Amino acid sequence: MKAEFFETLRLLNGELCQVEFHLERVQKTQEAFFTGAGFEVNALYNAIKDYPEGLFKVRVDYDSAITGIRVDMYEIQPHRKLGIVDAGDFSYPFKFADRDFFRETLNGCPDCDDVLFLKDGCVTDTTYCNIALFDGREWVTPATFLLPGTKRAALLHSGALRETRVTVHDLPGYEAIAFINAMRDFEKRYTFVRDQNQLILAEI
């Protein structure tokens, strides 16, 4: 079966955001799985050139080359409740198009908006976001992760985030949480409390 991957890019008012971080990840992925691969950046820019002002999600599917580009309007959805789930031996080091594990896990938490995964007791990601935590002085992000996101990389590069080890037992020591990915920054921030295997969130 051919490995297939995708990138999600933020298109804001006609401008693609943080393209360099996406292209770096695409390059690493293609080098790991293909020989003689290419990624036609011009095809990407041609696909988005006529879009109006506003926020759009650009999904680019690819293997050894781009196989599809889709553009949709995007609205940031709130988080209210997270399930806390051990990811076991699941691994997601590349942005594979096969996301059955995430869908099945979320389906197993029907009253939750998303799931926060643990690895060996350490906090990682949700099904589609890296996380950031505020300790009262600075925002940090877990050093453990399922996928090192492009927004995460950009925020670390700029100094807006610091990477640190976070266990599930450390969570009560943090004042706020935010969910970050290519489409999301710190637009929504939440206080939270743990209730057994869930985090209950309240938007700040």
CATH of 5-73, one of 3.30.470.10, 3.30.70.330, 3.20.190.10, 3.20.20.70: 3.30.470.10
Fold for the domain defined by 81-203: D-amino Acid Aminotransferase; Chain A, domain 2 (3.20.10)
For 158-172, the pLDDT digits (tens) are 999 999 999 999 999
pLDDT of residue 1: 43
Looking up tokens 């806390």, which residue turns up?
A: 84
- Measured CA to CA in angstroms, residue 80 lies from 71, 101, 129 at distances of 27, 22, 15
pLDDT per residue rounded down to tens, the chain (204 residues):
456 999 999 999 999 999 999 999 999 999 999 988 889 999 999 999 989 999 999 999 999 999 999 999 999 999 999 999 999 999 999 999 999 999 999 999 999 999 999 999 999 999 999 999 999 999 999 999 999 999 999 999 999 999 999 999 999 999 999 999 999 999 999 999 999 999 999 999
Instruction: Please list, in sequence order, all residues whose beta carbon lies within 8 angstroms of the beta carbon of residue 8, skipping any fewer than 6 positions away.
Output: 57, 58, 59, 60, 181, 182, 183
pLDDT of residue 37: 87
User: What angle, rounded to 10 degrees, do the helices at 150-158 and 19-33 form?
Assistant: 130
Pairing mode, strands 189-195 and 176-180:
antiparallel
Domain 81-203 in the same topology as domain 5-73: no
How far is residue 119's CA from residue 49's CA, in Å, rounded to a whole number? 41
pLDDT of residue 27: 95
Instruction: Please list, in sequence order, all residues whose beta carbon lies within 8 angstroms of the beta carbon of residue 104, skipping any fewer than 6 positions away.
Output: none
pLDDT of residue 36: 84
In DSSP terms, 177 is beta-bridged to 133, 190
Q: Whole-prediction pTM value?
A: 0.92
- Measured CA to CA in angstroms, residue 174 lies from 20, 68, 193, 201 at distances of 31, 41, 10, 13
Would you list the domain boundaries of the chain?
A: 5-73, 81-203
